[in-house]
Amino acid sequence: MISPQDKILHVANKLGLTSLKDMQATTGAVYATDKNGSGQVFSNLSTNTFYDETNLTDNRFEVNEALLVETIQFSVNENGNMSYPIQYWGSPNIVVFDLIIGNKRVMKNTPIFLAGGPGTFASVGVLEGANSNIDYIPRAQVYLEGVGILIPPQVEFSIDYAIYNIATGAKVATPSASQFTLFGTQVLLNFNTTI
């Protein structure tokens, strides 16, 4: 079976990145919040003032950094409060997203059911409040089976997304605090020196 590290090294060799094998491997996560409801996350991080909730300064990794994405999480972060409701019992919503690496859509029209539902291959809907009829916290994940998708060094990446009402198919207004987090095996610059 191929491990995440095997996939990272294979892609690095194909790209001619021979020094990537000497870098630090770890579990990592990157996230960004779409503060203006544009339907795009991670794009133009260095110039977009709406991205005040992110752990990145650019939407590409350094020369010897990479991320093998194994889980993608969607959530709504309204003023630091992850319980901002957009999922109601009477109007179930679905997030549909594309993951773009370079100029390629490596995941297209991928659904995340905010409260679970038929046909979803990965989702987590969390109930909030004493009354279970109040709302769902929209915090859902897509688990990438196998060895995930690699975001190589120095290649721009972004996510385009939209939210739809499952019952009517109508597009729902995008919340102004939609957040995507990419989790997986990360390669970091290794600055270790002999002491």
Q: Which sequence spans correspond to the domains of the chain?
A: 27-184
Phi, psi of 6 (to 5 degrees): -60, -45
Is residue 161 predicted with pLDDT exceeding 90?
yes
Arithmetic mean of pLDDT, 158-163: 93
Exposure on the CB side of residue 34, measured as CA atoms within 13 A: 23
Question: Between residues 100 and 173, which one has the greater pLDDT?
Answer: 100
Going by pLDDT thresholds of 50, 70 and 90, the confidence category of residue 77 is low
Arithmetic mean of pLDDT, 70-78: 79
- With a pLDDT cut of 70, the percent of the chain lying above it is 71
Is residue 3 predicted with pLDDT exceeding 90?
no
The rounded mean pLDDT for the chain is 75
pLDDT tens-digit map of 8-67: 888 888 888 777 777 777 899 999 988 788 899 998 776 655 445 788 888 999 888 899
Distance of alpha carbon 182 from alpha carbon 195, whole angstroms: 34
Exposure on the CB side of residue 74, measured as CA atoms within 13 A: 33
* 27-184: CATH topology: Jelly Rolls (2.60.120)
Calculate the alpha carbon distances from 174 to 71, 109, 125 in Å.
22, 16, 18
Cα 1 to its chain centre, rounded Å, is 25
Other residues' Cβ atoms within 10 Å of the Cβ of residue 36: 14
